[in-house]
Amino acid sequence: MNTASALKFTRILGYLTMTANGILNITSKMANKASDVVLDRRRYKVEIIVDGATIRTLDNCSTKKIQSIMNASSKLGISQLIVTEMD
């Protein structure tokens, strides 16, 4: 195998790997959304506010994640959480 054909082979292998990765990512997102619909799990957007300033915004949070943030809020010094339901 000469250098040119080895480079072509590696390039093709790289493209195949990227394609497989993209397909797996799309499939994973679709499976998560389908399970959320079937299990009626809602997703939320959470804004963490400390001393009147938003320090972090979290998208696509589950109820369990929000509960853990609320439990840790006194230790972290969080003064306010704004939770809105995502579509």
Residue 84 pLDDT > 80, yes or no? yes
Residues 27 and 49 grouped into a single domain: no
24-41 tens-digit pLDDT: 999 999 998 888 778 877
80 and 65 both lie in a single domain: yes
Q: Are residues 2 and 28 in the same domain?
A: yes
Claim: this prediction has a pTM higher than 0.85: no
Domain range for 14:
1-40
**Distance (Å, whole) CA 24 – CA 60:** 20
Q: How many domains does the chain have?
A: 2
CA nearest 44: which of 25, 22, 70? 70
Do 60 and 72 fall within a single domain? yes
CA gap 43, 73 in Å, rounded: 20
Based on the fold, state whether residues 27 and 50 are members of the same structural domain.
no
Residues 13 and 33 reside in one and the same domain: yes
